[in-house]
Amino acid sequence: MVRREKTNYVIQSVAHALDVIEQFTGETEELGVTDLSKRLKLHKNNVFRLLATLESRGYIEQNKATENYRLGIRCLQVGQTYVSQMGLLRQAGPIMEQLSRKCRETVYVSLFRRGAVVPLQSVEADQPVRIVSLLGQALPLHCTAAGKVHLAFESEEEMKNGLPDSLAKHTDRTIVKRGELIADLKATAERGFAVESGEYLPDLRSVAVPIRDYTRALVGSLSVTAPEYRLPMDRVEKEVGPATLAAGRDLSSRLGYNP
């Protein structure tokens, strides 16, 4: 049997749909039907049908104010799935093991999902008293170190947009005033790592740093979590914070990040 080239099996309509998605870049966030028609050299009716199909599946959405189109949430979800399955978690394993051995505490990698932060992988501490597993739980942004990372290391506009209208109080230490939280996030950005001290769960302290990939996008966070008595602030500042920063830079580098 003669083997045919894979290009002979390309479905033209699928290729055109992908062409539409690929027109939206960092420089071009929104496009209209006419713009896409000219770029792709396709009839407007064909472009509209492609957009309607992609919109029905969440890959494209329409800005009702301008009637232009932009990428939809499904693109982000697919991208995050790729990162977690093929890149981030695979690369994170050895670095998490090393960081956990160095600090003798539990280490997490978390991703941002639908307005929350979700720990997806962990390495437990070699200690008799350990942290209850948080894997798979949707955690709030404003009172967890991993969540603060996603607020502090985005642009100021994205940070303010990412804050909920009201800041839920989980413990007596939860920051519930927006002004105080914004000040905390600015301090986080300056020192390079976020700190949570009993703000979501009592008697728990966590240190988290951002993880970036080759596009310089923030794709996750790396954190060290322990009981407060084992992780006093002087240890955070002198040992655990710098160690977590170094591990975060190493992981980001492995994902292709170049500062």
Same domain, 169 and 123: yes
| 246 phi and psi angles, rounded to 5 deg | -65, -40
- pLDDT at position 120: 85
Residue 204's DSSP bridge partners are: 227
- pLDDT at position 111: 87
- pLDDT at position 109: 93
Residue 110 lies in a domain: yes
Residue 132 lies in a domain: yes
- pLDDT at position 85: 55
Same domain, 91 and 185: yes
Q: What CATH number is associated with residue 101? A: 3.30.450.40
Same domain, 105 and 220: yes
Residue 259 lies in a domain: no
- pLDDT at position 160: 62
Same domain, 130 and 220: yes
Residue 167 lies in a domain: yes
Residue 187 lies in a domain: yes
- pLDDT at position 29: 81
Average pLDDT of adjacent 10-residue blocks, the chain of 259 residues? 62 91 80 93 94 94 92 82 67 92 93 83 80 80 92 72 78 90 90 93 94 87 93 93 95 86
Q: Which of 198, 188, 197 is nearest to 245 (CA)?
A: 188
Domain residues for the domain of 32 are 6-71
- pLDDT at position 223: 95
* Type of residue at 176: V
User: In what helix (H) or strand (E) does residue 69 lie, and over which residues does it extend?
Assistant: strand 69-71
The Cα 89–Cα 25 span in angstroms is: 26
Same domain, 200 and 81: yes
Residue 175 lies in a domain: yes
With vertex at residue 84, the alpha carbon angle to CA 80 and CA 90, rounded to the nearest 5 degrees, is: 155
Q: Taking each helix axis from N to C terminus, what angle separates 33-40 and 44-56, rounded to the nearest 10 degrees? A: 110
The Cα 95–Cα 97 span in angstroms is: 5
- pLDDT at position 130: 67
Whether the CB-CB separation of 48 and 34 falls below 8 Å is answered with no
- pLDDT at position 56: 94
- pLDDT at position 237: 93
- pLDDT at position 103: 92
Q: To which residue do tokens 């986080």 refer?
A: 188
Q: Which of 217, 71, 199, 62 is nearest to 143 (CA)?
A: 199
Q: Taking each helix axis from N to C terminus, what angle separates 241-254 and 89-103, rounded to the nearest 10 degrees? A: 160
Tokens of 253: 């580098």
Boundary (domain end) residue, out of 37, 55, 71 = 71
- pLDDT at position 136: 79
Alpha helices (H) in 62-170, listed in sequence order: 73-82, 89-103, 145-152, 156-162
Same domain, 141 and 66: no
- pLDDT at position 86: 56
Stated pTM of the model:
0.65
Same domain, 16 and 107: no
